[in-house]
Amino acid sequence: MLLDAALAYLHFIAILLLASLMSAEALLLRPSVAQQSSRWIARLDLGVGLSAIAVVASGLSRAVWGAKGWAYYAHNPVFHAKIGVFVLIGLMSIIPTVLFLRWARRHRELPGYAVPAEEVRRARRWVLIELHLLPLLPLFGVMMSRGMHF
């Protein structure tokens, strides 16, 4: 019982960290701010990636070693929807990540590099879409914990 509670807590913390870092990215992704912070945005995006790994690791740990066990999750359509949304968010994050890495590289090559405002808007749009999808993950978690199905 204590293991299950600890795993749930770690999973919640990882989700909150992911949401916080993604929110920080969205706040920094404004044309005037991104000009000065583009190198920091790339580092912040690394934190987003690491926190996403923590979400997966803690969630998988819950599914395998938690109170309900893998058999409960493996056949649950809500679990599969949750994983699908998480993968979708991960795939969507590729576009802003590529932009952030490009900006950081260009800043190293050209110290006075100005990030194009359209690229900032594009990256922000993708991050905001990801942020709007993120609340589905705990919603599906709550549905699973109550035995709900689609």
Q: Are 107 and 39 in contact (CB under 8 A)?
A: yes
Q: Is the pLDDT of residue 102 over 90?
A: yes
The tokens for 124 are 């922000």
Lowest mean pLDDT among 15-19, 25-29, 30-34, 82-86: 30-34
- What's the rounded Cα separation, in Å, for the pair 73 and 60? 10
| The amino acid at 137 | L
Phi, psi (deg, nearest 5) at residue 88: -60, -45
| Confidence bin at 145 (pLDDT 50/70/90) | confident
Mean pLDDT, the chain, rounded, equals 93
What letter does residue 30 receive in the DSSP assignment?
S
26-48 mean pLDDT: 86
pLDDT for 82 equals 96
Over 90: is that where the pLDDT of 114 sits?
Answer: no
Cβ–Cβ < 8 Å for 99, 41: no
> Does the pLDDT at position 80 exceed 80?
yes
- Mean per-residue pLDDT for 90-107? 94
Global pTM value? 0.90
Indicate the burial class of 39 (C-beta count within 10 angstroms; 0-12, 13-18, 19 or more).
Answer: middle
Q: Per-domain residue ranges for the chain?
A: 2-145
pLDDT at 133 (0 to 100):
97
Closest by CA position to 83, among listed 22, 136, 145: 136
User: Has residue 40 got a pLDDT over 90?
Assistant: no
Distance CA 63, CA 68 (A): 7
